[in-house]
Chains A and B, each alone.
Chain A
Amino acid sequence: MHYEIVLWLALLVPFVIGLICTILPSVRIALGAMCCCVFGTCVAGLAVIWHVFQHGAVFTVSNWLFLDGLSAYHYLVMLLIYCLSSAYAWVYFGEELRQGHFTRRQARLFSGLWCESFAAMSLVLFSNNLGVMWVGLEATTLITAFLICIHVSRESMEAMWKYIVICSVGIAFAFMGTLLVAASARGIVSQDALLWTILRDNAARLDPKLMKAAFIFLLVGYGTKAGLAPMHSWLPDAHSKAPAPVSAIFSGFMLNAALYCIMRYIPITESATGGTGWALHLLTGFGLLSIVVAAVFILFQKDLKRLLAYHSVEHLGIIALGLGLGGLGTFAALFHTLNHSLCKSLSFFAAGRLGQMFGSYDMEKMAGSFRASPLWGAGIFGSILALIGIAPFALFMSELQLVKAAVDSSSMAALILFLVGSGVVFVGALQHAIPLAWGRPKGMLKPLRFTALEALIVVIPLALLLVLGMWMPESLSAALKNASGIVQSTLPAEVVVFSGYTP
């Protein structure tokens, strides 16, 4: 089969359907078209991913688009999150439609932008050309900006403006970095100086000083989009004021996409600077800073979605830390990507539904969620538990592997900071979560009846997290090893062996 065609289709179909969505006649139809687009692309995408895992990378015309182990893995995560979020959007906006808060115009705008952002994020993952990758990420910024303020209010306007300005500046920094990378390749690479595959093959001959400067710009630029501290200030605002499905997409995949861009540059920079680990040290620094800053802010949050947003900052910091540690750390970081996306999406789903029920996101007002809705209360409590790293959820496993990686490489300072940060987050989040789930409900509550679809949306991620925490399938492990090998441009180290795990 010609898998290149599938890549093109995966880009074009959401783009076209997104445009069509803006003229559909009713809310239900628009949301339905959006879901069909995502699910349809998902089926085709899974076929390509399977092919890549079996047979290696797929390239298209003149090598501008491709799918290798790393991007295939991220594409898998993206499809999973988008499918879950689209189904949830159907439920969430269905409720809003019933309450009369969702107009047809908003539905058209939402579904159109949703499909376009799907296409843009696919572009980021598929592009071999680093310039096109940059264009894709900038496109996601601009497109998702209006997803934030679907419901126009003062706070959402403010959040949107901060998001646009901060992320655009970050993307401009990233562009400067891309330019410097291309400049360092001038003269060594004759043509197509921005193709990742070519740069990676010639990495050892690139100018180290220029690559160092470029990497700093890239890390700050893409790090802004990824929500690494200290460039994370847009994150809590954007996540708390956007509708729940949009927050799920942000945390579930967009932050990972930005970190993916950084991952593409790691092997190039490492080779160019002679493998001294300079780039990795920078990443570790940013990761630890994110963990610490998030831990501090989690302690005094009152708004549920802001709390979850700071959790995102923390977990992105953990992933960056893992990438920075290298070896087993890279494996753990990539595994953590999947776990965090699943868990964070579920928590935003639950927060959204509970917010609809209670009418506010203030955690004091939302006390006693479990009594009000057993399903979503279980969802929020379970996801927060998973987020803070309780065994046997998968996040615990990936964090444990990270700890082992830190010990292996004797980075004791990083280890201590990480453990302290995680400990503070543990205590802080539980202090919020227990009253949230089990507290005494305030005021009268209309109990929410839930449909089978909602049950599926809650159960699937929780089940996946539980299963992955206890058993890693052979194929997933191989895929992760492949992906981390690409990031490190070496073979990955030995995987932690616990009962039930096969390396």
Chain B
Amino acid sequence: MTPVIDTTMMLLILSNMALLGLSRLRSCIAVASFQGMLLGLFTVFAHMQALTLRILLIAATSFILKGFVFPRLLRRSIREASTQNEMEPYVGYSMSVMAGMGMLGAALWLGSKLPLNPAAGMDFVVPTGLTTFFTGLFLIVARKNALTQCLGYIILENGIYAIGVISVVEIPALVELGILLDAFVAVLVMGVAIYHINREFDHIDTDQLDTLKG
């Protein structure tokens, strides 16, 4: 089981680096969708010995939500906002990738400090989850396009989800599904908000949303 989990985690981190380095929005959404599907599969792999219906349900929901529904909502927002590319971000792409490496290092350090005691063979999952978390945060802070910020939020939740899958098994399914539903509604709300912002401003460059100061 370990090689499978290791490969999954490695692909997850590679997808984070790709998100930091890509500029075209469609590519970013495709990578995020891939990440979501990977997480759905990971949920099954992580509990291979004790598969229950509940785990399969959660895995299937997150696979469909993150792999298909969220990207679809975001692509619709792209169409409505008619924006193709990222504007010049605050932090350049090469610098973002290097920052991503820094975040990986920080996540490894933090993961070693947190006594989460994961099961055997899963000790790379917590650093990966934290890296994904930091990547999402970085995307929200360092990018100007409102859609990329929404994408960053999805990645943030992905990271938390990855950590949650291995560290807590006892959260009742109702709460986990409620959390996934929350993420869904959040993305929906953000999409609608972006639509309205675009209608009002004719762009979704959040760097220009700076009239409220002080």
A–B: direct contact at CB < 8 Å: yes
Q: Which residues from chain A sit less than 8 Å from chain B, CB to CB?
A: 129, 131-132, 134-135, 138-139, 142, 145-146, 149, 152-155, 157-162, 164-165, 168-169, 172, 175-176, 179-180, 182-183, 186, 189-194, 207, 209-210, 213, 236-237, 240-241, 297, 300-301, 306
Of B27-35, B78-86, B100-108, B192-200, the one contacting chain A is: B192-200
Chain A residues positioned under 8 Å from B175 (CB to CB)? 129, 131-132, 135, 194
Indicate if the CB atoms of B153 and A157 lie closer than 8 Å: no
Knowing A138-B186, A165-B140, A209-B114 are in contact, say whether A182-B168 is a contact too (CB < 8 A).
yes
Indicate if the CB atoms of B186 and A176 lie closer than 8 Å: no
Chain B residues positioned under 8 Å from A193 (CB to CB)? 168, 170-171
Indicate if the CB atoms of A179 and B200 lie closer than 8 Å: no
Q: Is B172 an interface residue (CB 8 A)?
A: yes
Secondary structure type dominating chain A contacts: helix
Indicate if the CB atoms of B211 and A132 lie closer than 8 Å: no
- The distance in angstroms between the C-alpha atoms of A213 and B114, with both chains bound, is 8
Chain B residues positioned under 8 Å from A149 (CB to CB)? 196
Q: How many A-B residue pairs have CB under 8 A?
A: 121
Chain A residues positioned under 8 Å from B197 (CB to CB)? 157, 161
Indicate if the CB atoms of B212 and A186 lie closer than 8 Å: no
Chain A residues positioned under 8 Å from B190 (CB to CB)? 164, 168
Which residues of chain B (148-170) have a CB below 8 Å from chain A?
Answer: 149, 153, 156-157, 160, 163-164, 167-170
Give the size category of B's interface with A: 35 or more
Knowing A158-B209, A168-B153, A169-B153 are in contact, say whether A131-B178 is a contact too (CB < 8 A).
yes
Chain B residues positioned under 8 Å from A131 (CB to CB)? 171, 175, 178-179
Chain A residues positioned under 8 Å from B116 (CB to CB)? 180, 183, 210
Residue in chain A with minimal CB distance to B181: A135
Pick from B115, B157, B185, B189: contact of A172, CB under 8 Å: B157
Residue in chain B with minimal CB distance to A139: B182
Chain A residues positioned under 8 Å from B206 (CB to CB)? 161
Pick from A134, A164, A180: contact of B189, CB under 8 Å: A164
Pick from B133, B136, B171, B209: contact of A162, CB under 8 Å: B209
A sample of 11 more A-B contacts (CB under 8 A), given A158-B210, A175-B179, is A154-B200, A158-B212, A161-B206, A165-B149, A176-B160, A182-B168, A186-B168, A186-B169, A210-B115, A210-B116, A300-B214
Indicate if the CB atoms of B182 and A135 lie closer than 8 Å: yes
- The distance in angstroms between the C-alpha atoms of A210 and B111, with both chains bound, is 11
Indicate if the CB atoms of A155 and B211 lie closer than 8 Å: yes
Q: Is B146 an interface residue (CB 8 A)?
A: yes
Indicate if the CB atoms of B115 and A209 lie closer than 8 Å: yes
- The distance in angstroms between the C-alpha atoms of A431 and B160, with both chains bound, is 47
Q: Which residues from chain B sit less than 8 Å from chain A, CB to CB?
A: 113-116, 133, 136-137, 140, 146, 149, 153, 156-157, 160, 163-164, 167-172, 175, 178-179, 182, 185-186, 189-190, 193, 196-197, 200-201, 206, 209-212, 214
Residue in chain B with minimal CB distance to A134: B179
Indicate if the CB atoms of B212 and A155 lie closer than 8 Å: yes
Pick from B133, B136, B171: contact of A194, CB under 8 Å: B171
Smallest CB–CB gap between A205 and chain B, Å? Answer: 14
Chain B residues positioned under 8 Å from A190 (CB to CB)? 170
27 pairs, A vs B, C-beta closer than 8 Å: A131-B175, A131-B178, A132-B175, A135-B175, A138-B182, A139-B182, A152-B200, A154-B200, A154-B211, A157-B196, A158-B211, A164-B189, A169-B156, A175-B179, A176-B133, A180-B116, A189-B170, A191-B170, A192-B172, A194-B171, A194-B175, A209-B115, A210-B114, A210-B116, A236-B212, A237-B212, A240-B212
Indicate if the CB atoms of B212 and A161 lie closer than 8 Å: no
Chain A residues positioned under 8 Å from B193 (CB to CB)? 145, 157, 160-161, 164
Knowing A132-B175, A164-B193 are in contact, say whether A172-B153 is a contact too (CB < 8 A).
yes
Indicate if the CB atoms of A182 and B140 lie closer than 8 Å: no
Indicate if the CB atoms of B196 and A152 lie closer than 8 Å: yes
Knowing A158-B209, A179-B167 are in contact, say whether A142-B186 is a contact too (CB < 8 A).
yes
Pick from A135, A210, A237: contact of B179, CB under 8 Å: A135
Smallest CB–CB gap between A498 and chain B, Å? Answer: 39
Pick from A146, A152, A165, A297: contact of B153, CB under 8 Å: A165
Indicate if the CB atoms of A157 and B200 lie closer than 8 Å: yes
Residue in chain B with minimal CB distance to A62: B172
Chain A residues positioned under 8 Å from B178 (CB to CB)? 131-132, 135
